Amino acid sequence: MMQARTTVGLLVGNRGFFPGSLVEEGRKRILKVLNEMGANVITLSPADTKYGAVENLKDAEKCAKLFRDHADKIDGIIVTLPNFGDEGSAALAIRMSGLDVPVLVHAFADELGKMDVSHRRDSFCGKISLCNNLVQFGISFTDTKLHVEDPESKEFKEDIEKFFAICRIVKGVKGLKIGAIGARPAAFNTVRFSEKILEKYGISVVTVDLSEIIARAKSFESKSERVKHELEKLRTTFNVKNVPSEALERMARLAAAINEWIENNGVKAMALQCWTALEMLYGVVPCAVMSLLSESLLPSACETDVMGALSMYVLQLASGKPSALMDWNNNYGDDPDKAVMFHCSNLPVSFFQSCEMSYQQIIAGTVGAENAYGTCVGRISPGPATFLRLSSFDTEGIIAGFVAEGEFTDDPIETFGGYGVAKINNLRSLLHLIVKYGFEHHVAVSKSLVKDAVIEALENYLNWEIFTIGECSCHREEV
Separation CA 190–CA 356 (nearest Å): 30
- Above 70 in pLDDT, residue 328? yes
Mean of all residue pLDDT scores within the chain: 95
Mean pLDDT calculated for residue range 51-59:
98
Q: What is the pLDDT of residue 19?
A: 79
Query: CA angle, 41 as apex, 459 and 45 as ends, to 5°?
Result: 125
Q: What is the pLDDT of residue 275?
A: 87
Mean pLDDT calculated for residue range 321-325:
98
- Above 50 in pLDDT, residue 58? yes
Q: What is the pLDDT of residue 173?
A: 98
* Residue of 303, 230, 308 lying closest to 262 (CA atoms): 230
- Confidence band (pLDDT; 50, 70, 90) for 388? very high
- Above 80 in pLDDT, residue 447? yes
Question: What is the share, in percent, of the chain residues with pLDDT greater than 90?
Answer: 90
pTM of the model: 0.95
Q: What is the pLDDT of residue 9?
A: 98
* b/e 63-97 (16+ beta carbons within 10 angstroms → b): bbebbeeeeeebbbbbbbbbbbbbbbbbbbbbbbb
- Confidence band (pLDDT; 50, 70, 90) for 2? low
Mean pLDDT calculated for residue range 240-253:
96
Going 101 to 105 to 106 to 107, the CA torsion angle's sign is positive
Mean pLDDT calculated for residue range 227-235:
97
